[in-house]
């Protein structure tokens, strides 16, 4: 029970990394609220997480939405000990393929979404709270055709450093997790064929030094460490969980 009596908010928590993290945090004793946009999955997620969990609709790009989420969480939990700003968007794009719509989609969800989330919940963060931002290993490498996502995640990495300093007096810790190539539903949302998805996953796995893609649970366990008191001396850092892809 490493998170016993702690209250947690996870954005983008109805699938993939966010859902795996919610499951683990609940098993470790936390009260968890998750947000998502696809209401069609809410009933299934609620059943999976249990009636004590909160499954809330909210677009991280909307301050109105996230303030409503924060108000609901405060009413149920009283305050927050952990926030995992997990909601994000990744999409491959060469420089000449970037248009206004794609730019706004990537930057607004990945960067504005983190800013808006923290603005909404900031009054409810308890002293000593842990905030975890989801970045990516692509911000540390020169991968082809994903520069916009890499730039967005690099900005989020910078926010973890800046906010760590800004909120030292409140003893709020900001850290980041940088996932590598993950076998989650995200790649299936790119609108490509099943065959294309299988081929890309095989390529990604071959490029990882350990020989396989990561699982959502790999990130969940990293988030558990940063959320728990065991990481009380860890501030402003980025924990890379990528099977060695950015290091070897």
Range of lowest pLDDT (58-67, 114-123, 164-173, 200-209): 200-209
The tokens describing 152, both together, are: 């967005």
Provide the pLDDT confidence category of residue 190 given band limits of 50, 70 and 90: low
Alpha-helical segments (H) within 51-193: 63-77, 100-107, 113-121, 147-166
Q: Give the Å distances, CA to CA, from 154 to 91, 102, 148, 168.
A: 15, 17, 10, 22
Give the phi and the psi of residue 241 in degrees, each rounded to 5.
Answer: -125, 85
pLDDT in tens, 133-183: 999 999 988 888 899 999 999 999 999 999 999 999 999 999 999 999 998
User: Which secondary-structure segment (H or E) carries 218?
Assistant: helix 216-227
Unique residue bearing structure tokens 């809410």: 42
Kindly report the pTM of this predicted structure: 0.95
What's residue 191's pLDDT? Answer: 64
Architecture label for domain 7-179+214-239: 3-Layer(aba) Sandwich (3.40)
Q: Answer yes or no: is pLDDT of 194 > 90.
A: no
Q: Answer yes or no: is pLDDT of 186 > 80.
A: no
Range of lowest pLDDT (22-26, 89-93, 116-120, 129-133): 89-93
Inter-residue contact 55 to 34 (CB < 8 Å) = yes
Rounded mean pLDDT, 203-221: 94
Sign of the dihedral defined by the CA atoms of residues 116, 122, 124, 126, in that order: positive
């Amino acid at each position: 029970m490493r998170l016993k009596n702690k209250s947690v908010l996870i954005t983008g928590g109805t699938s993939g990394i966010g859902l795996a993290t919610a499951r683990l945090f609940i098993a470790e004793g936390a009260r968890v609220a998750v947000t998502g946009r696809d209401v069609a999955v809410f009933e299934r997620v609620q059943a999976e997480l249990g009636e004590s969990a909160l499954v809330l609709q909210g677009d991280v790009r909307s301050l109105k939405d996230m303030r409503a989420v924060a108000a609901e969480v405060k009413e149920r939990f009283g305050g927050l000990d952990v926030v995992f700003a997990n909601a994000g968007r990744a999409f491959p794009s060469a420089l000449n393929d970037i248009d206004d719509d794609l730019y706004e989609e990537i930057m607004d969800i990945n960067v504005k979404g983190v800013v808006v989330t923290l603005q909404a919940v900031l009054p409810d963060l308890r002293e000593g709270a842990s905030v975890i931002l989801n970045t990516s290993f692509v911000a540390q490498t020169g991968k082809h055709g994903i520069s916009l996502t890499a730039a967005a995640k690099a900005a989020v990495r910078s926010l973890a450093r800046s906010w760590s300093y800004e909120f030292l007096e409140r003893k709020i810790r900001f850290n980041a997790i940088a996932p590598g190539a993950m076998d989650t539903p995200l790649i299936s949302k790119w609108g490509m064929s099943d065959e294309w998805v299988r081929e890309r996953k095989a390529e990604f796995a071959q490029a990882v030094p350990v020989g396989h893609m990561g699982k959502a649970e790999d990130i969940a366990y990293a988030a558990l460490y940063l959320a728990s008191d065991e990481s009380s001396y860890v501030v402003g850092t980025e924990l890379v969980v990528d099977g060695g892809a950015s290091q070897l």
